[in-house]
Amino acid sequence: DIMDQAKKEARQEADQYISASRTDKNITNEEIKFFNDINKEVGYKEETLLPQTVVDEIFEDLTTEHPFLASIGMRTTGLRTKFLKSETSGLAVWGKIFGEIKGQLDATFSEEESIQNKLTAFVAVPKDLENFGPVWVKRFVVTQIEEAFAVALESAFIIGDGKDKPVGLTRKVGK
């Protein structure tokens, strides 16, 4: 009887949570369409990417809810990163205060684009979720990805070996 009562109360609490979460004002029309379409598909058809607004939300949550990731200044840059490089030449030269300037520093600037490694996660969505609506499905998917990414990012930034991931803070980098 106690188990049945606990299950009943848990189900009521879940139903209240679901009802309250069906009307999330922060979900966009694109996200509603995306998560509704997930509910209708059965089996693997083709890869679908999360809407950019959801990706941005995940990265925002990663840096606010995980202090280590916030403290290292993690930022999302998309797939391409642009590096500005400079090559310097010239020396500083000693001389008399009112004498001729003898040293000049020159710099040549260039830019380079690079595609970084990627961190991916595939989320399997149970068919039973179709009863819960797009807001609840979004929350389920986002939570799964956030937690998986947080573990992978923290691990890579601390003990990463540099092979298709960052070099961790504990690594000793040699020549």
Residues 14-66: tens digit of each pLDDT:
766 655 555 566 788 888 888 877 755 555 556 677 888 898 899 889 988 99
All structural domains of the chain with their residue ranges: 21-76+117-159
Give the distance from CA 80 to its chain's centroid: 14
Q: What is d(CA 81, CA 116) in angstroms, rounded to the nearest whole number?
A: 7
Return the SS3 of 71. helix
User: Which amino acid belongs to residue 83?
Assistant: F
Residue ranges of alpha helices (H) inside the chain are 2-21, 29-40, 52-65, 67-71, 134-159
Q: Which amino acid is at 147?
A: E
pLDDT at position 145 is 93
Instruction: Quote the CA–CA distance of 155 and 153 in Å, as a whole number.
Output: 5
Q: Are 105 and 90 in contact (CB under 8 A)?
A: yes
Question: What pLDDT is stored for residue 137 in this prediction?
Answer: 86
pTM of the model: 0.61
158: tokens are: 């601390």
Instruction: Decide which of 27 and 74 is more confident.
Output: 27
Q: Could you report the per-residue pLDDT of 78-107, keeping only the tens digit for each? A: 655 667 778 888 888 898 988 888 888 888
What's residue 154's pLDDT? Answer: 92
pLDDT of residue 80: 58
CB 166 within 8 A of CB 173: no
